[in-house]
Structure 1
Amino acid sequence: MISLRKATTLATLLASLHAFVLCQQQPPPDRVILAIRVSDPIRIDGQLTEAAWKKPGESRFVQREPLEGAPASEQTEAWIAYDEDALYVAVRLHDTQPDSIVGRTARRDQDSESDEVGVGIDAARDKRTAHYFVVNPAGAITDGTFSNDTHMDSDWDGVWDVGTNVDEGGWSAEFRIPYSQLRFPKRDRYVWGVEIYRRIKRRNEDSYLVLHPRTDQVRVSRWIEIRGIEGIEPPARVELLPYFTATGKFLEPPAVHSFNEGRDDPFSVGRKYPVNVGADAKIGLAGDVTLDASLNPDFAQVEVDPTVVNLTAYQWYYQEKRPFFIEGSNILRFGRGGATYLNDFYWTDPRFFYSRRIGRAPQATVTHSGFKDIPDRTTIIGAAKVSGKISDSWSFAALTAVTDREYGRVDSAGVRFKEEIEPLTFYGIARTLKEFNEARQAIGVIGTVVERDLRDPRLKGILNNRAASLGVDGWVFLDESKVWVLTGWAGASYVAGSTDRMIVLQRSPEHYFHRPGAGHLEVDSNATSMIGWSSRVWLDKVVGNWIFNAAVGAIHPQFETNDAGFMTNADYINAHIYGGYEWYKPEGIFRTKGVTAAIVREYDFGGYNIGESYQLRLFGQLLNYWSAYFNISHNAETYALPERTRGGPRMRWLESQSGYVNVSSDSRKPLYGALTTAAAKGKSGIWYLQTGLNLNWKVSKTLSISGGPDIYRRHDPAWYVWTQPDPLAAETYGCRYIFGTLDLRQVSATVRVNWTFTPKLSFQLYVQPLLSTRTYSGIKELARPNTFSFNRYGEGRSTLTLTNSVYTVDPDGAGPASSFNIRNPDFNYKSFRANAVFRWEYLPGSTIYFVWTNEKVDYETSGRFEFGRDMRTLFRDRPDNVFSIKLTYWFNP
């Protein structure tokens, strides 16, 4: 037995250790920076000649990289001052090797791979949100926001000023941050949070005023305080940003069709010159509340989306790039607060709000054949957003938008038709989040509404006339040290429409209610609405070397958010347990290393196992700053996902093994890169291999080139082709589910050229060629449900012939089953996409863009892959060219 003395000693040691850990997790209580009020103007030139910078500055910087906890290798001093209009931060960055300071010119928010200094300001002092401002010795800047303590988002572009200077003793930076760029409520005295960090690129050294250990997923909550700010008023924030765009479209005519009768396309005259004007406004309302509004907003993208060959039944998710939606979007994020280290393992959150639904391409098609004039996006009549804080711990946001009715025009042998393809639509989104006890607990709500004015009877069978969703999320830290956190959300959805529309929705790839043999599902042909729910809960350890994360989530079969949000599949349950250990102190050849493992299970609401995976992850960084990541998975035999049969009967999917490897080199070098390889092989005969190389070449201080090739090969013995109704196919519920052996070959490359003349004047070029072929062989049908067994056409009594790209199938030869035709699904797809952008910020917040977009697409019903021939064909085709000018002017009256 343990004696009382030993027990007392042990308890004392444990208590001391716990107290020590708590001290390490919080900044010392004396870490306060006193802001100095100035009356004389401060010249933002990086010279640090003002009197405010002559007193001793804050210099207690600590390394995070490469030697965590060690003093910074070079001295850094920082000062903070303020006046009635702005906050000023000065930083002196001493360097014993000034000739080795790295300062490359880069456009805004581009990683310049340089020395740099950054300032973070938590003006709301909620210990979760902040703004950050970064500059390198050449004056290249980055800015953005923090949310949820650690999440950094560079989409926010503020209007602020900074000056830098390099001399024989190092370099200096002076920041001027107007109060109009920060959000804070009125106070007699202000206490803000601050962090300052420095990077010395040649040493890969990052040092901070407040160390946030690599083992801890926390940042803003540990920043030290700025005190001494008083006698200032939150400004009346009014910003106007009118714009003007002019575009020249030089389009190639489409291929010849039977309805042409030798005529040119009347809608593709070769040249179009649309012009547009509008304005955005940002107005500060009461307290920390801001109204963003747009009149005839320009929601076109300056940068193009990448080309994607989508072989799945699901829609593709594209990132938002439109400024109105990305600015302040962190307030609308749902379900991911509190925990900062969440893993998903095949789970994809159904999004309640996906901003690219607003202004999307029209969803309906025209019914007449002929020359077509179809708009590529829906016109947004107007949009407005209100966001801010009701109190220090209570935030909210609301967004509304109205999109116009859109029409498609058709010319069929000289006869004109005009058809509505998108109705007048209203979108409404509201979000609020209340935090308690210094963000140890929180609860939030999100709601969305979509209303469509469906006047055309045809559209009533295609679109929901009404959709709504409501979600509740939150988190709770389970201990005083904020090591363990429980995060979760739950929500419900409602959609309504005609009976025809509900049938289409129930049979869509997101739901597949018509799956034969799925006893928990049924298509309700009388339904005029659908209600469903979804939920997810995580338990996460966010502090320490030991890693743990577990989660369980479910999406009810009738859950549907694709009107205002985004989701791919319902009828889905996912759970995982993930854990491991990470070492962040150099040992042997490794600077850092880690090992983790995970178990993942997936089910449908019928209780069938549709996924089971066991994973091992290894990762490490060598002393020379090369790094590697390995993931090995064993995927057990289960039932296949419903997508495999496109809503057909259940099919078994045999076990497989997969792996992923990423190796990257030292980014300090002029030429560095990363090699990525993913591979899999299964008992079903499936295999794939994908290899990508991404190189980054820092040609000079102003020019960089990045990109590389990507090669993808896939062999899949059971890829869905077609469903053929046949009452004689009794074993498969009156339909023949037809598959083929898919051989996919795809080669693509991306190239990005960034040429930055000054931090405010830059040129960017993006180029992406892509070749993709899909060849099918071994056409067959599923023999029986719940198996991986097939009847191959052309064997036994069945016959299979191919004539003029059409397969004729007789499943039983001379038997009673009828023959049928299916189109040969082989294809050869080629595309080339280029986008060039010249940016000039001619005044603070005011920018002119010159944009060129070049695109060509070639499609053949042939699965032959011949690289040389395909490239010649691609570059022989004449492209569509679009030239645009966009001018914005920022007013701050």
Structure 2
Amino acid sequence: MNIYVLLFLFCCQLLLAQNEDSTVPKRVYTTKALGAAKAPVIDGVLDDKAWDIIDWTADFIESNPDENTPPDQESRFKIIYDQKYLYVAYRCFDKEPENIEKRLSRRDGFAGDRITIILDTYHDKRTAFSFTITAAGVKGDEFVSQNGDNWDSSWNPIWYASASIDDKGWVGEIKIPLSQLKFGKSKEQIWGLQVTRMLFRKQERSAWQRIPADAPGFVSEFGELHGLIDIEPQHQLEIQPFGVVQYDTFPEEEGNPFRDGDDFKLNGGLDAKIGITNDLTLDLTVNPDFGQVEADPAAIALDGFQIFFREQRPFFVENKNIFDYRFANGQDNLFYSRRIGRSPQGFVGNATNREFVDTPQNTTILGAAKFSGKTKNGWSVGLLESVTARELAQIEDLNGNRREAVVEPMTNYLVGRVQKDFNDRNTYIGGIFTATNRNLSDILNIDYTNPNTDETAELIGLRENNLNFLREAAYTGGLDFRHNWKDRKYFVEGNIVASQVKGSPEAIAATQQELTHLFQRVDASHVEVDPTRTSLTGTGGKLSAGRSGGGNLRYDGGFFWRSPELELNDVGFLRQADEIIQFAGLRYLFLKPTKWYRRANINLSQFTTYDFEGNYNRIQYEFNNYINYQNNWWTEVGLGHKPRIFTNTFLRGGPRFRFSEENFAFVYFGSDQSKKFNFTLGHVNSSAKQNNFSLQRYELRLNYQPFDAFSLSLNPQFERNPNKTQYVTETDFNGTPRYITANIDQQTLSASIRLNYNINPNLTIQYYGQPFISRGRYTDFNFVNDATAEDLNQRVTLYEDDQISYANGRYTIDEDGGGADYSFSDPDFAFVQFRSNLVVRWEYIPGSEIFLVWSQGINGLGDAQNNLFRSLDNQILNQQPENTFLIKATYRFVL
């Protein structure tokens, strides 16, 4: 579909703005205080007199799959309260109680029959607190933001729940401390309220407050909870100390004092949560430990770009939505918390072969504080401060002499975020500021003539270990807004960001030449490396508008940009600068079930990219659709076309490079995910003109729960990605840069394995393992002849047999017949990795836990001439792994 057609449809819909009125009346539930009545005991049995002070509310309506029809089973609930707690009782009727799915899982497993209460205590129509109880008594809790588009299960408040099954169905009781909720002072609280039930065997969801399938949001459509009179905001005060005992084993290296086969550590720290007001909370952590966190999945990137990993550490995950500032596409964000506590960036470059080096795996977080929350009048506030330690590598020679070298300077990170709601919560504006400051000032003027003091020796280590590429300071700021109108059916949103980095001329020159920027590009006239600069200043931003609700049609369109000097990677995430992207999309939803499907949608999208020199680099069109059938099986199919593909980064500072036009397709289908055995099969197929490159990916996901307490999943994936012009290296030929590429046959095999055994809702055993193997073989070496030629044979020139020779792990090239002109190392590779975690988790009282953890890891380089399974055998099954055993205990004091 032509871009002008998309823009025409977009403008027509925006201007005509359909006048349909799908407004649903808001339901109101009025609660009552306990008064003199005794509080109910949370035991899953509704025999307490306290429940008699108020009537049940019912009349749930089906929301999925057949919206606005009577549900298959009836549901009821009632809410009462006192000055410290909110109490909720559920009666979930079921005509077939023997078929109730009471699957056990760990907290936030959301398996089996369940019912959820969601409270918009701010009444901002965008955020809410969600509490779920299953028929098996398992708890789930999430913080809801972005009007229902984001559900954060890392939020773990203290609350109480119990459930039981009888001949009428099942019963649930919960007790929520008001200290775990956030609300302002008022004579009578009015909160947004929704209660939803999942009838698992039918995959049917029903709701107390009807929300039409074409609604433009979720939280904004809630009913209301009234009757909360004279409740006092509870100032939260929680202190959670922890202790860790850790024992590591690893392959012993003869003579290496740092690799003697094992290591023992004791560690401890403290987390605290202080309610400054009922709206705003101060979180503190001292010497945090992240030992029980699951290992990152294995990955390898031949394009040279950094790989994004999701945050898993509880301190940074909680309330992360407040600090989030995605300003463009993909993962680009002004705050990427994985920068804090990262692996040291320096290395001991001056250690000899007769020295042994011990470098810390991660930078120590000395302490961190986070002040965050949302006020009753619509202010969202977040302030995070963290300090990481100066890290030293230990170096010892064969005579036992030991010295130290700095591999990471002491660093301070600051992130501030604010947003304000207006216009009956239909509009918000916000801002963000980040600052990174490294203690590098002392190394800029080192007296090398007097290296006798320990301090001077450490500072020299900063120079010798290539830490002079680090920037001394980095600052970013941004403003964002969103405006909704016509019952939130239409929106316009945008943001703008600016960055400035400062440092030595070496650091700023290194920044200019990083893959993110590539100012040294030989054919770029709008950028150039200036070795005298000590700062860079860049901008970025986004503007988009569209329709997000009402009827069957959705659309959006807009553009974003990242200027050449934009730099975020000190405490943010930026993959590539120097880019302008225009995008547009149309989506049609089939909202009413038929005899053969429950839900379906069709999507069309398009985008184009340019750089700041005006080069037209890429255009892509894509179509995909999703169908959920009546038997709850599903398919997803997509097609795409890329008639123009240019990249500024492929030759790592060389000229702009062209790839042949590409077509791609994918298909995924799966069985009913509610069944105890279910599967997903997927295939991705991509191919380029003249066989320039291709991609074949095969994926299988298997899930099996043989009984309620045990589940397992297996996700093997195989990928083959040949490319006739895979970048190898750059060299020099008679004073002219020579960019060498080759035909690569890359194959990758991985499989993630998960086992979960739940003794009860508070005592679980989990296992995660992932073998990963990626192998690349290079043949048909060639050099770039005309980087932007349309014909592949004109773009690169193959070396003749008499021009290339191989010996001792190196290729030697004689282009002109006069002897060796240049050489390069054999790029073949085989990377093998295995990571696993076995975790026993016991929440012995709400909020306090004991972890028993066994982590295992193997990294190796295999023989690229072996097949993948031979590498698996040689590099994983026959190698001694590194093991970590730890016990971690926490106790949460609620004061």
Q: TM-score range by the shorter chain?
A: over 0.9
Contact 2:476 2:500 in 1 (8 A): yes
2:127 corresponds in structure 1 to: 129
Look up the SS of the partner of 2:722 in the other structure: strand
Distance 2:495 2:379 in 1: 18
| Pair 1:358-2:340 in alignment | yes
Pairwise mapping of residues 155-554 of structure 1 onto structure 2 (< 5 A)? 155-253=154-252, 263-335=254-326, 347-367=329-349, 368-369=351-352, 370-414=355-399, 415-454=401-440, 455=443, 456=459, 458=463, 461-477=468-484, 479-543=485-549, 544-554=551-561
Amino acid at match of 2:319: G
2:714 pairs with one of 686, 692, 707: 707
Q: Evaluate the alpha carbon distance shift between residue 590 and residue 29 of structure 1 in structure 2; reply closer, same or farther with a 3 A threshold.
A: closer
* Structure 1 residue 790, shift from structure 2 partner: 4.7
* Structure 1 residue 35, shift from structure 2 partner: 3.6
**Could you report, residue by residue, the CA deviation over 1:344-374 in whole angstroms, capped at 9, with x for unpaired residues?**
8xx3252111111111000111111342211
Distance 1:793 1:613 in 2: 30
1:3 corresponds in structure 2 to: none
Amino acid at match of 1:532: G
* Structure 1 residue 847, shift from structure 2 partner: 0.2
* Structure 1 residue 390, shift from structure 2 partner: 4.3
1:773 corresponds in structure 2 to: 775
Identity of aligned residues (%): 31
* Structure 1 residue 637, shift from structure 2 partner: 2.6
Amino acid at match of 2:320: S
Look up the SS of the partner of 2:430 in the other structure: strand
Look up the SS of the partner of 1:871 in the other structure: helix
Contact 1:769 1:831 in 2 (8 A): yes
2:813 corresponds in structure 1 to: 809
1:830 corresponds in structure 2 to: 832
Segment drifting more, 774-783 vs 641-650: 641-650
Contact 1:335 1:488 in 2 (8 A): no
Distance 1:593 1:232 in 2: 45
TM-score normalised to the size of structure 2? 0.92
Pairwise mapping of residues 874-889 of structure 1 onto structure 2 (< 5 A)? 874-889=876-891
**Could you report, residue by residue, the CA deviation over 1:659-698 in whole angstroms, capped at 9, with x for unpaired residues?**
1211111012221011121110001411110111011001
2:451 corresponds in structure 1 to: none
Distance 2:26 2:63 in 1: 20
Look up the SS of the partner of 1:643 in the other structure: coil
Pairwise mapping of residues 47-126 of structure 1 onto structure 2 (< 5 A)? 47-54=45-52, 55-112=54-111, 114-126=112-124
Q: Evaluate the alpha carbon distance shift between residue 556 and residue 242 of structure 1 in structure 2; reply closer, same or farther with a 3 A threshold.
A: same
* Structure 1 residue 305, shift from structure 2 partner: 1.0
Distance 1:863 1:25 in 2: 65
Q: Evaluate the alpha carbon distance shift between residue 791 and residue 674 of structure 1 in structure 2; reply closer, same or farther with a 3 A threshold.
A: closer
1:45 corresponds in structure 2 to: 43
Amino acid at match of 2:742: G
Segment drifting more, 348-357 vs 101-110: 348-357
| Pair 1:32-2:23 in alignment | no
* Structure 1 residue 577, shift from structure 2 partner: 1.1
**Could you report, residue by residue, the CA deviation over 1:163-192 in whole angstroms, capped at 9, with x for unpaired residues?**
111100011111100011001112111111
Contact 2:26 2:209 in 1 (8 A): no
Provide structure 2 residue ranges, at least 5 long, that are not aligned to the other structure.
1-16, 444-458
Contact 1:38 1:81 in 2 (8 A): no
* Structure 1 residue 586, shift from structure 2 partner: 2.0
**Could you report, residue by residue, the CA deviation over 1:454-485 in whole angstroms, capped at 9, with x for unpaired residues?**
133525621000000001111011x3321110
Distance 2:637 2:165 in 1: 42
Amino acid at match of 1:44: I
1:674 corresponds in structure 2 to: 680
Distance 1:176 1:371 in 2: 57
Contact 1:335 1:489 in 2 (8 A): no
Amino acid at match of 1:542: S
Look up the SS of the partner of 2:367 in the other structure: strand
TM-score normalised to the size of structure 1? 0.92
Contact 2:714 2:752 in 1 (8 A): yes
Pairwise mapping of residues 630-649 of structure 1 onto structure 2 (< 5 A)? 630-639=637-646, 641-649=647-655
Give the RMSD, CA atoms, in angstroms.
Answer: 1.8
* Structure 1 residue 439, shift from structure 2 partner: 1.7
Amino acid at match of 1:389: K
Look up the SS of the partner of 2:201 in the other structure: helix
**Could you report, residue by residue, the CA deviation over 1:560-593 in whole angstroms, capped at 9, with x for unpaired residues?**
0000101111011111111031102123422222
Contact 1:460 1:498 in 2 (8 A): no
1:660 corresponds in structure 2 to: 666
Amino acid at match of 1:61: F
* Structure 1 residue 334, shift from structure 2 partner: 2.1
| Pair 1:559-2:566 in alignment | yes
Amino acid at match of 1:426: N
Distance 1:585 1:625 in 2: 15
Look up the SS of the partner of 2:338 in the other structure: helix
Distance 1:660 1:155 in 2: 32
Amino acid at match of 2:306: Q
* Structure 1 residue 90, shift from structure 2 partner: 0.9
| Pair 1:613-2:613 in alignment | no
Contact 2:491 2:546 in 1 (8 A): yes
Q: Evaluate the alpha carbon distance shift between residue 388 and residue 794 of structure 1 in structure 2; reply closer, same or farther with a 3 A threshold.
A: closer
Pairwise mapping of residues 136-155 of structure 1 onto structure 2 (< 5 A)? 136-150=134-148, 151-155=150-154
* Structure 1 residue 123, shift from structure 2 partner: 1.3
Provide structure 1 residue ranges, at least 5 long, that are not aligned to the other structure.
1-16, 255-262, 337-343, 729-733
**Could you report, residue by residue, the CA deviation over 1:788-847 in whole angstroms, capped at 9, with x for unpaired residues?**
435545418x611111211111222228xx622211010112222111000000111000
Contact 1:793 1:799 in 2 (8 A): no
1:783 corresponds in structure 2 to: 785
Q: Evaluate the alpha carbon distance shift between residue 94 and residue 38 of structure 1 in structure 2; reply closer, same or farther with a 3 A threshold.
A: farther
**Could you report, residue by residue, the CA deviation over 1:309-349 in whole angstroms, capped at 9, with x for unpaired residues?**
2222111111111111111111112257xxxxxxx8xx325
Q: Evaluate the alpha carbon distance shift between residue 313 and residue 868 of structure 1 in structure 2; reply closer, same or farther with a 3 A threshold.
A: closer
Amino acid at match of 2:137: G
Amino acid at match of 2:30: I
**Could you report, residue by residue, the CA deviation over 1:46-87 in whole angstroms, capped at 9, with x for unpaired residues?**
211233434431102111112111022211111110001111
**Could you report, residue by residue, the CA deviation over 1:192-238 in whole angstroms, capped at 9, with x for unpaired residues?**
11110111111111000122233334111111111111122111210
Q: Evaluate the alpha carbon distance shift between residue 98 and residue 719 of structure 1 in structure 2; reply closer, same or farther with a 3 A threshold.
A: same
- Count of matched residue positions in the alignment of Structure 1 and Structure 2: 846
